[in-house]
Chains A and B, each alone.
Chain A
Amino acid sequence: MSSVSKKRPAQARTRLDRLETLLTTAPVHVVVIAIALLWTLPTAGLLISSFRQPDALLTSGWWSVFVPPFDPAQFHLGNYMNVLTRQGMGQAFLNSLIITIPATVMPIAIATFAAYALAWMQFPGRQLLFVVIVGLLVVPLQMTLIPVLRAYNSLGLSGTFLGVWLAHTGYGMPLGIYLLRNYIGTLPRDLIEAAAVDGASHLKIFTRIVVPLSTPAIASFAVFQFLWVWNDLLVALVYLGGNQNVAPVTLVLRNLVGDRGQDWHLLTAGAFISMVVPLVVFLGLQRYFVRGLLAGSVKG
C-alpha cells in the first residue's frame, strides 16, 4: 500500500522490502487499531459485566475475567432476568417498540407525500415553503417543549402514545421532507411524464413510480428516524411525564441510574437491553444510515 512497495515490481520484492513496508505502515496500523480498541473498550466492558455475578462485579474489574483460569460458570443471565421482569425493562422494551414503529411510519408517509408535491407538482409558494422547512431543520426542540406540553395537558395527550407519536412525527418532518425531496427531485422528469402519458394519476405515479424508486432515500430516513426515536429521552421525558406504564427504555434506564446508581449488575444489563435494537438496526442497515448522513443534514 505504501509508496515504497509501489515503486518496485512485485516479483522483485525481497524479505527486506516487506520489512521496510511493514515499518513504514506500522504507525498507521498501530494508530488505527489503538483508536478502534479505545472506542470499543467501554462498550465491551459493559457487555461483559452485564453477564457477571452482582457481587463479582463490585469487587473486581471486568477485565479480570480474562485472567486465567477462565471459568465460564462466572457468567449468567440472571441480571437480564432481573432487570427485564423486576425493574420494568421488559415493559419498557415493549413501550419503546410501540412508540418507535408508528413514530417512524407516520413521518415517512407524510414526508414522502409532501416531498413528492414539493418536487413534482406546480403550486404557488412551493419554493418558499421548502426554504422554511430547511430553516426548521435546526430549530432546537427546547423551543417547542413548553407550549406543546401545555397544549397536551389541556387536550389530555400527555402521557399517551398518540402524543409521543405526533410529537416525533412533527420533529422528524423537516429532515424527512428535506432528504426525500432532494432525492425525489433527482428522479428523471421523463419517467414521471411517461407515467402520466401512460395514464397514471398523481397518486398512481406516486405509488407505482416514485415510491419504488425512492426506497433508498426512504430507507435512510427510516433508519435515521427509528434510531432517533428509540434513543430519545427528552421527548419521552417531557410528554410522557412520570407515567411508568408508557415509559420507553431510555426513560426507565435513566430512572434506574437515579435510583440504583451503584447496582451495576442492573445498569449494565439494562443499558445493553436499551442498546440491542438500535445496534441490530444499525449494523444491518448501516449503509442506509450512512447514506442518510451523507445527504448532509443538520437535525433539530
Chain B
Amino acid sequence: MQDTANLIRLLTAIAAIVLGSGGIIALFYGANWLVNGLPYGLRSRVLPWVYMTPALAVLAAFLILPTIRTLIISFMDRRSEAFVGLDNYIFAVTNSAMLIAFRNNLLWLVLVTSISVSLGLVIAVLVDRVPYEPLAKALIFLPMAISFVGASVIWRFVYAYQPPGFEQIGLLNAIVVALGFEPVGWLVNRTVNNFALIVIMIWLQTGFAMVLLSSAVKGIPQDVIEAARIDGANEFQIFWRITIPMINSTIVVVSTTIIVLVLKVFDIVFVMTGGNLDTDVIASRMIKEMFNFRNFGRGSAIAVILLLAVIPVMVANIRRFQQQEVNR
C-alpha cells in the first residue's frame, strides 16, 4: 500500500517537475514566437517585457504587493476590519513580552555578529598557514548546509539534561559534571537559555564569515605583506595594520549580511524553546501573533518593525550597487 502510494507520489513529483520547469520554458518560447511575428522595431520594444514579465509578476505578487498590504494591515485591528491607528505599534513597543523580544534580539545581534565575524576572521587568517586548509575550512563551513531545524536538533542533543546522579548524555552537561559541577538545564535556565540559542547561530554563521573573509585575506597582494615585513612589522602588526584595513569592506558586507539574517531569526527559537521562558525574538513573536493569537494587525506591525530595521542595509546595498555600476 505504502509503496504504491509512494510510487504515485513519485510519478506526480516527476510530472510536476517536468510540467513546472517545462511550462516555464514553453511560456518563454511561445511568447517569443508570438513576438517574432511583429515588425523589427516593435519587436525589439516588446521582447524585453516578454522576458521580464514573469519575474516582475512573481516579484509583485510575493514581495511588492504583500509588503504594501502588510503596511496597511498593520494599522488595522486583528481581523483587518477597522482602522486602529497606531495601536498595534504602541502594543509592539510597550508590551512586556515584546520588550523581552527586543532585548533578546539585541543580544542576538551583538553577540552573533561580533563573535561570528571576529572568530571567522581569526580562523581565516590562521587557516591560511596550515597545509590541511581545505579540510579545516570545509569542517567549519559545513553547518552552513544544515537547516536551522537540523541544527536545533543537533544542539538540543548537546544541551540534553538529566537530573543530577543520572548519566549525562548531553556533551555539555557531561563536561560540566566531569568538572565537578551540577548539571545545568541550558534551555530552561533563564540566565543561560538565550546564550544557549545564540551559540547555535554562531556555530552556523562563523563558517560563512570565515569563507568570505578568507577569500578577502587571500586577495591581499603578497608583496604588500612582504613590504610590511621588510619594514619590520611582526605578524600581529601585519594583522592589525595591513590585513584588517585592507579587507574592511568585506568585513562590512559580512557583518550586514549576518545582521539581516539574525534580525529575522525564527526557526531556532521556534524549534528549541517555542519562545517560552523569555527566549522570544521579534520574528518568533510575529509568528505567535499571527498563528497562535490570530491577530493580524499586531503581527503585521511587528513585521513592519523588522522591515524598518533592515532599511539602512537596503539603502547601503543600493548605494554600493550604484557605485559598482559607475565603476563598470
Flag whether A29 is at the interface (Cβ < 8 A): yes
Asked whether A129 and B52 contact (CB < 8 A) given A171-B63, A234-B266, A275-B147, the answer is yes
Contacting pair B318 A131 (CB below 8 A):
yes
Q: List the A side residues contacting B186 at CB < 8 Å.
A: none
A136 close to B145 (CB less than 8 A): no
Residue of A nearest to B32 (CB): A203
In the complex, B321 has a CB within 8 A of chain A: yes
The B16-33 residues at the A interface (CB cut-off 8 A) are: 16-17, 20-21, 24-25, 28-29, 32
Bound-state CA distance A273–B141 (Å) is 19
C-alpha gap A270/B156 in the complex (Å): 13
Chain A to chain B: the 6 pairs with minimum beta-carbon distance, closest first: A170-B62, A231-B147, A282-B145, A114-B55, A144-B66, A102-B20
CA distance A166 to B211 in the complex (A): 31
Majority SS of interface residues in chain B?
helix
Q: Does A146 lie within 8 Å of B310, measured CB to CB?
A: no
The B52-110 residues at the A interface (CB cut-off 8 A) are: 52, 54-56, 58-59, 61-67, 69-70, 73
Asked whether B160 is an interface residue with its Cβ less than 8 Å from the other chain, the reply is yes
Partner of A59, one of B21, B143, B160, B167: B167
Chain B, residue nearest A58 (CB): B169
Q: Answer yes or no: A212 CB below 8 A from chain B CBs.
A: no
* Distance between B68 CB and nearest chain A CB, rounded to angstroms: 8
Chain A residue with Cβ nearest B63: A136
Query: Main secondary structure on chain A at its contact with chain B?
Result: helix
Are B20's CB and A121's CB within 8 A?
no
Report A74-126 residues with CB < 8 Å from chain B CB: 85, 90-91, 94, 97-98, 101-102, 105-107, 109-111, 113-114, 116-118, 121-123, 126
Query: With a CB–CB cut-off of 8 A, which chain A residues contact B36?
Result: 201
Q: Is A225 located at the chain interface by the 8 A CB criterion?
A: no
Contacts of A297 in B (CB 8 A): 257
Q: Is B163 an interface residue (CB 8 A)?
A: no
**Which residues 22-58 of A sit at the B interface, judged by CB distance below 8 A?**
25, 28-29, 31-33, 35-36, 39-43, 45-46, 49, 57-58
Q: Is the CB of A278 within 8 A of B158?
A: no
Interface string of A252-296 (1 = CB under 8 A from B): 011001100100100110110011001101110010011001101
The answer to whether B153 and A257 have CB atoms under 8 Å apart is yes
| Closest beta carbon of chain A to B250's beta carbon, Å | 8
The residue on B at minimum CB distance from A133 is B59
A298: which of B48, B156, B160, B256 is its contact (CB, 8 Å)? B256
Task: Name the B residues within 8 Å of A59 (CB-CB).
Answer: 167, 169
Least CB distance from B181 to A in Å reads 16
Q: Are B139 and A281 in contact, with the CB atoms below 8 A?
A: no
Within 8 A of A (CB), among B128-184: 129-131, 135-136, 138-150, 152-158, 160, 167-171, 174
User: Chain B residues with Cβ under 8 A from A209's Cβ?
Assistant: none
